[in-house]
Structure 1
Amino acid sequence: MQALSDFFFHLYAKTIVLLVFLLIELIILVRNLKTHTPPMTISQYLQLIEEKTPTVCFTRTLNMADQQECRVCLSELQEGDKVRTLKCKHTFHQECLDRWLLQFWATCPLCRNRVLPEDVVTDYQRLRNQRELIIFPFWESSED
């Protein structure tokens, strides 16, 4: 009789612990749903890049560091090219830098100084991950 009583006591205790864990998970889920913000769109991301590092036309007098080429595409910077100069004073073609930053590299391609805040990049990554899930929801086998 004692063994049966011990069994039910342990079952009762484990059930209580399981219910507490489920309640905690439910609270976390409800909190996340309340604070959920939609992920940043690509256009919003590019607009933020433009705000942080405005596009200008390249001129030889603009370039203080005597940088003569875009270090992403390795082509020479020409008069009139649209460029972005980062806080670290590195200059790149606007399209090259935007492509770099769109690939999750929120840092300068040369010195790795942060260009965008971490939370912005994380938000953009969420959008990108959601898009990949929509495009590739699962791997289909060709054996059907």
Structure 2
Amino acid sequence: MVGVSQFISYKYIILICLTLILTELANHVHSAIIILYTSITRPIATARFFKLIDEENPASRYKSRKRLEPMECTVCLSNLEKGEEIRNLKCNHTFHKACVDKWLQQDSEVTCPLCRSSVLPEEIMVKLKQRRNNNQVYDGSDEEIIF
């Protein structure tokens, strides 16, 4: 009789341990799914997105001007050199094109890194925010972004 009760108690201990392990595994899987889902639904800038930015804030080449202090890109904190590709935003702040494009791609509000003024017109921003609020999954096509 003692042997049977010990056997049953060991089964319950093993069952409890397995339940705890499976619960912990389920928590890890759930966390991984949430991370994956948020990385998929995070807005991704497309060629159409940058075309709109180019239309509103065209890129050009930097021409050095005779100033006391050299102009600086406040994203990478390095001086602008003659001939480098730059982007002058509507707010008249100037950055290296690559630096500000990377900022705009990651910035959910699509604003100037310095003064936070909007880079795109209000009607485009409203549609972009609606798309983000609807949590539409991006499939890689330009048609997915409604501008």
Which category describes the TM-score, using the shorter chain as reference length? 0.5 to 0.7
Letter in 1 for 2:93: H
Matched to 1:79, the amino acid is K
**Alpha-carbon distance change, 131 to 75 in structure 1, aligned in 2, over 3 angstroms:** same
Aligned to 1:130: 137
Is 1:92 matched up with 2:95? yes
Helix, strand or coil: the match of 2:129?
Answer: helix
1:59 paired residue number: 63
CA distance in 2: counterparts of 1:45 and 1:72, whole angstroms: 20
Give unpaired runs (5+ residues) of structure 2: 1-42, 140-147
Within a 5 Å distance, the mapping from 1:33-52 to structure 2 comes to 42-52=46-56
Unaligned runs of 5+ in 1: 1-38, 133-144
TM-score, length-normalised on structure 2?
0.52
Alpha-carbon distance between aligned partners in 2 of 1:127 and 1:93, rounded to the nearest angstrom: 33
Alignment of 1:1-144 (within 5 A): 42-61=46-65, 68-103=71-106, 104-117=108-121, 118-122=125-129, 125=132, 130-131=137-138
Identity of aligned residues (%): 38
The 1:45–1:74 alpha-carbon spacing in structure 2 relative to 1, beyond 3 Å, is: same
Q: Report the residue type matching 2:116 in the other structure.
A: R
Residue type matched to 1:111 in 2?
A: C
Q: CA deviation at 1:116?
A: 1.3
Q: How many residue pairs end up in the alignment?
A: 92
Question: What is the root-mean-square deviation of aligned Cα atoms in Å?
Answer: 3.3
- 1:100 partner amino acid: W
How far did residue 86 of structure 1 move?
Answer: 1.1
For 2:79 and 2:135, locate their aligned partners in 1 and report how far apart those are by CA, in whole Å.
32
Any runs of at least 4 consecutive aligned residues in structure 1 with deviations exceeding 6 A, and if so which? none
Q: 1:70 to 1:128 in 2, by over 3 A?
A: farther
Give the residue type in structure 1 aligned to 2:100. Answer: L
- C-alpha contact (below 8 Å) 1:106/1:121 kept by paired residues: no
8 Å contact 2:75–2:100 — kept in the other structure? yes
